[in-house]
Amino acid sequence: MRKTTGNKISEVLRIRHFVMNIIYRSGGRSVMIPSSRELAARFGMARSTVQLSLERMSAEGFLTGRPGIGTFTNLRKSFFLQPGEVLPLTGIKIGTGDHFYHLCTSWRMFSEAGNALVDSGCTIHPMAACSSTPETIRREIRDVFLDGILFLGTPAPVVREAAAVLPSVSIGKDPVPEVDSVVLDARKAAAELACRLRSAGRTRILLQHDADFPPPPFAAVRDILENGGFDLSFLNVKEGDFPSEFRNRLLSWKPQALLIYSQYAGLALRFLAECGETPEKIWLVSAEDLPRSGEFPGFYFLEPRKEAAESAAAMLIRKMRGTKEQAESKYHDIRLICNLQQ
């Protein structure tokens, strides 16, 4: 069996997206698609690759051949939303798009974003290609034929490049210059946490740290605590033996509160128990909500995902309709939630 290369797979997907775009925008009509020779010339690939993609789509029922005439979209395939109506096709991209898995927080944001766009009359295309540079996002946009994109925590240079080509909105911890942005603002919640810590006499704080992936609240919390005279110690989650270093720091430095990433909450609780401590004695503060936040014995920061998604969807709809010109930034406050009995 001949081995199919990664490049061949990518080319087959490009043809599939091109044909799916024709089907999507045909308004329920059967239309003829370009010939395999024309598509090969248009996309600069081998005709055999084009034929492979078209054969697969024919086998799936999306295309049907008419001898002596050409290949047409198949009306009998259940694909159209409503005959004669074409809803805006919007992409949603989490980060750079190449995550192998998603934590509950990013998936909850994706879900709220999708709900807000669907409720606004859009259909959704999940953008899963790796687009970490302006060049790669240009290629991805070229191949998926979208009307607009909602970015979730995507690097600013990637968002700006996309916004130069088609309507785009960003949801993240910072506004993207010259792009409509919804900002998850942690400053008030961070100030509230600092006030609670100081009121309880807890000034020795151990912070987990990852310079590449800081959750929105951590930068705000760090700034306030550093400027407020707190005694801080930082623990890099990418250290070679992070669990051992985490446990040793608990025993040797004896912090009065831990600021942790949500995925390490279970590890923190286990180490507290092993060290004979409790969450009431050493406070736990999670950077984000958890799979079962109501059971977490400490504090956590809760993003206003539904409100942020609805604001972003409204921005994107206006941009796709051409009724919005000047970029704006809208802020939504992250909340601090406490589960401790005080």
| DSSP H stretches of helix in 96-211 | 104-119, 134-144, 156-163, 187-199
Angle of helix 265-274 relative to helix 242-253, nearest 10 degrees?
A: 50
> Residues 50-83, buried b or exposed e (16+ Cβ, 10 A)?
bebbbeebeeeebbeeeeeeebbbbbeeeebeee
**Tens digits of per-residue pLDDT, 41-82?**
999 999 999 999 999 999 888 899 999 999 999 876 555 555
Angle of helix 6-24 relative to helix 134-144, nearest 10 degrees?
A: 50
Neighbours of 120 (CB within 10 A): 16
d(CA 149, CA 131): 13
Domains and CATH numbers, the chain: 6-73 (1.10.10.10), 89-184+306-332 (3.40.50.2300), 187-302 (3.40.50.2300)
**Tens digits of per-residue pLDDT, 96-140?**
987 878 888 999 999 999 999 999 999 999 998 888 899 999 988
d(CA 105, CA 300): 12
Q: Nearest 5°: phi and psi at 95?
A: 60, -130
Rg (CA), the chain: 25
> Residues 224-250, buried b or exposed e (16+ Cβ, 10 A)?
bbeeeebebeebebeeeeeeeebbebb
Structure token digits, residue 111? 């879900």
Mean pLDDT of the chain: 89
**Tens digits of per-residue pLDDT, 14-26?**
898 899 888 888 8
109 neighbors 182 (Cβ within 8 angstroms): no
